[in-house]
Amino acid sequence: MRAWAVVAKKEVKEQLRSRKALFTLIIIPVLMWLGVGLMHAFIFGAMTPTGPLATPMDMHLAVDDKGPYGLLAKQVIYAVASNMNVVVHEVPYKKGMELVHEGSTVLFIWIPANFTRCLNETGTARIGVWVDMTSTRASTVAHAIISVLNSVVAEKRVDAVQTPIRKMPITLVMLSLMLMMSALWGPMPTVTSSFAGERERKTLEVLLVTPVSRHSILLGKLLASGFSAALYMGSSVVGLAIYNGLVKWATAGVMEEFASPALTVEQALVVIAAAVLTVILSISVGIVISCFARSVKDAETYYSAIFMLPIMLMSGTSFTRFDELPLAIRIVILAIPFSHGVLMVNNALIYGAPWQAIAFNAAYMLVWSVGALVVGAKLFEREEIVETRKIRRPGGRRGLLRLFRRP
Amino acid sequence: MELAVGLYDVSKHFGPIVAVDHLTLEIRRGEVFGLLGPNGAGKTTTVRMICGLLKPTSGRIVVLGYEMPREALKARRFIGLLPQESDVYESLTGRENLEYFGRLYGLEGEKLARRVEEVLKLVGLEERADDRAGEYSGGMKRRLMVARAIIHDPELVILDEPTMGLDVFAVRRIRRLIRRLAEGGRTVILTTNDLEDAERTCDRIAIIDKGRLLALGTVRELEEKFQEKGLEEVFVKLVEGDQA
């Protein structure tokens, strides 16, 4: 065999025997694309009229014009709605406005009584569109209706007077998302170097021989990780404030809709609480990961791979109305504790949800953090922390349950 | 005769691998005890069980009167360990490394500062104490690790290959240190592949292979028992005989 082939064979053999390489090369891409595929399939599949993931959306319509263009507009709206799996409920204008004020509809369109007359006399007419800007789907449907209507009236023009039912404070959403991501990634360097790093440097054995309990060692490392994560988040907040200021300055007087409104004290407290809880959760999960990893690089690889899913979910939930997602994906999002950081922020900043919903988000993350810490503490007590050889106990339980076996 | 360490019919299995096989040993207080064996003989596993880092699959271990690993936290106050494979915190200075471990062993203030100076002098690192440990040579790091193992003046010092990678001067210094510890009433367990090291410093020696005890006694007793001149000949005869 030629030298290059010998080298290549050895390299491939090494890669195939490395769990880390297999994880990075095979599992991560599959998981990532599976996640993106599921997200997109659910979001776009819900809009199809007859597809397997079709989920109908409700909209409201008030038609006060009985003339030919009024009837044409109504037909166009029904056709577009049918094509996008939207159920149209016809209501009087007054009822529609009540729904808008209650926030009980995501899309309300009003064809005024003078619609046909205006089109005939001036060639242009106006319709009223109230759209919930936090709903991607409602915005898309409204846009489609206006486009099709304009193409149907040919030489004439229909102007839509759009009023947001609920605004999407993009900069706030961005800020909270970035803060959540900072909270997720901030602890990584400390957690991985503090636990897996001690093993890699082979200083852990000496540390474990001191008369300090492993719980105390764990607590010390936990606090240090929290401190560095707090520093990281602090810098992130400063950076984001600069970013926010720049955006406001650059868009002053131009994009009022997108300018960042100021946070109330309550909202700011919720955002900070969500970030702190995400940090605690991230550290707890990071400890579990580090207890399994043999080196800092291994720990970082696992950390990145495992946290990719929550990041995708965070991005997805930040810009999409949660209750608009199909039930299956909502269950997945609710089950993953990291999603609750963003849900908590969204509940406070966008939806004005009751405090019980925000408290649930917080409690769910806290329960998971405590659970992960208990598992981490048990893992830290294992002999495998100092012994690289596989320790199998005859008749013992397998997997994580073994950690909780009575001595 | 007071015992420092007692291992009674101790075995340790890692899945199908038997690392230590029904080992019985008694180590007296104040002696320098050599634990010799070829690579993979079970020396490090035995040391880890003595420190309470690993639980024996079967058998009983008593260290300084404490049952291991049940009373490991109490016993560790009096144990100093230099593992075979270890390192120092490179971003800390030599002095900071020692202070960190001193504090973990409960030393504080003036007492800690005095003890740090003492051990730095013992291992000959007093002039480089305030340099970052990452700037130390391999030999200096090893000396710092030895200092770390004795920072709390333990009753039982376990040195796993303490002279590995050291130059002849550093080796002599470590040998003198071991003798001083023994003269001060400390018990030293020395695991090494360096038979000359063992012959010069140990009061008694145990030779183990495949986790089993092959021989135990002073160098002279072993020479007489196995009709060989020198520890190396005894060692080779025993280990080769065991492997055949």
How close A212 comes to chain B (CA, Å)? 7
pLDDT above 90 for A300: no
Q: In chain B, whose CA is at the least distance from the CA of A208?
A: B53
Residue B186 is predicted with a pLDDT of 93
Residue A96 is predicted with a pLDDT of 94
Domains of chain B: 3-243 (3.40.50.300)
Q: In chain B, whose CA is at the least distance from the CA of A388?
A: B14
Confidence band for A404, pLDDT divided at 50, 70 and 90:
low
Scan residues 365-404 of A and list those with Cβ closer than 8 Å to B: 383, 386-387, 389-392
Residue with tokens 């015992």: B3
Please state, in angstroms and as integers, the Cα–Cα distance from residue B147 to each residue in A18, A163, A202, B88, B129, following that order.
37, 75, 17, 11, 11
Residue-wise pLDDT for A152-161, tens only, equals: 888 889 998 8
Distance CA B189, CA A319 (A): 64
DSSP symbols for B2-66: -EEEEEEEEEEEETTEEEEEEEEEEEETT-EEEEE-STTSSHHHHHHHHTTSS--SEEEEEETTE
pLDDT above 90 for A257: no
pLDDT above 70 for A371: yes
* Residue numbers in A near B51 (CB within 8 A): 209
Among A213, A387, A392, beta carbon nearest to B54: A387
Chain centroid offset of residue A3 CA: 50
pLDDT above 90 for A115: yes
Residue B154 is predicted with a pLDDT of 95
Distance CA A365, CA A280 (A): 9
Residue A336 is predicted with a pLDDT of 86
* Residue numbers in A near B48 (CB within 8 A): 205, 386-387
pLDDT above 50 for A117: yes
Among B15, B53, B76, beta carbon nearest to A392: B15
Q: How many CB pairs under 8 A join A and B?
A: 63
The whole-chain average pLDDT of chain A stands at 80
Structure tokens that stand for A15 in this block: 């890669």
| pLDDT (average), residues A56-81 | 93
Neighbours of B39 (CB within 10 A): 7
Residue-wise pLDDT for A372-388, tens only, equals: 988 888 888 787 777 66
Scan residues 66-125 of B and list those with Cβ closer than 8 Å to A: 73-74, 76-77, 79, 81, 83, 85-90, 101, 104-106
Q: In chain B, whose CA is at the least distance from the CA of A199?
A: B86
Percent of chain A with pLDDT over 70: 85
Instruction: Determine the angle formed by the axes of helices B138-149 and B94-104, rounding to 10 degrees.
Output: 20
How close A403 comes to chain B (CA, Å)? 15
Residue A363 is predicted with a pLDDT of 95
What are the two backbone dihedrals, phi and then psi, of residue A153, each rounded to the nearest 5 degrees?
-80, 5
**Is any Cβ of chain A less than 8 angstroms from the Cβ of B49?**
no
DSSP symbols for B153-201: --SEEEEESTTTT--HHHHHHHHHHHHHHHHTT-EEEEEES-HHHHHHH
What are the two backbone dihedrals, phi and then psi, of residue B125, each rounded to the nearest 5 degrees?
-115, 10
Residue-wise pLDDT for B108-154, tens only, equals: 899 999 999 999 998 889 999 999 999 998 889 989 999 999 999 99
Strand B156-160, strand A124-132: pairing? unpaired
- pLDDT, greater one: A165 or A43: A165
Residue-wise pLDDT for A158-214, tens only, equals: 998 888 887 766 667 776 777 777 788 777 777 887 778 888 878 888 888 999 888
* Bridge partners, B66 (sequence order): B63
Asked if B128 contacts B88 with a C-beta cutoff of 8 angstroms, the reply is no
DSSP symbols for A246-269: HHHHHTTTT-GGGSPPPPPHHHHH
Task: Look at B81 and A392 and tell me if their CB atoms are within 8 Å.
Answer: no
Distance CA B141, CA A247 (A): 53
* Residue numbers in A near B19 (CB within 8 A): 389
What CA dihedral angle connects A227, A230, A236 and A239, to 10 degrees?
A: -90
pLDDT above 60 for A103: yes
- pLDDT, greater one: B10 or A179: B10
- Residue B240's Cβ-count burial label (10 Å; 0-12, 13-18, 19+) is exposed
Confidence band for A289, pLDDT divided at 50, 70 and 90:
confident
Lowest mean pLDDT among A1-10, A158-167, B14-23: A1-10
Residue-wise pLDDT for B164-208, tens only, equals: 878 888 888 888 889 989 999 999 999 988 888 888 889 999 999
pLDDT above 60 for A261: no
Segments making up each domain of chain A, as ranges: 6-43, 57-166, 170-404
Residue A248 is predicted with a pLDDT of 66
pLDDT above 80 for A226: no
What CA dihedral angle connects A189, A191, A194 and A196, to 10 degrees?
A: -90
* Residue numbers in B near A386 (CB within 8 A): 48, 53-54
| pLDDT (average), residues A315-344 | 79
pLDDT above 50 for A407: no
- Choose the CATH number for A57-166 among 1.20.1050.10, 3.20.20.100, 3.40.1710.10, 3.40.50.720: 3.40.1710.10
At residue A312's C-alpha, the angle toward residues A316 and A175, to 5°, is 65
How close A392 comes to chain B (CA, Å)? 5
Residues in chain B: 244
Which letter does DSSP use for residue A208 in this model? Answer: H
Residue A123 is predicted with a pLDDT of 92
| pLDDT (average), residues A311-315 | 71
pLDDT above 60 for B96: yes
Which letter does DSSP use for residue B210 in this model? Answer: T
Scan residues 190-209 of A and list those with Cβ closer than 8 Å to B: 201-203, 205-209
Lowest mean pLDDT among A16-20, A138-142, A374-378, B159-163: A16-20
pLDDT above 80 for A319: no
Confidence band for B19, pLDDT divided at 50, 70 and 90:
very high
Confidence band for A225, pLDDT divided at 50, 70 and 90:
confident
pLDDT above 90 for B21: yes
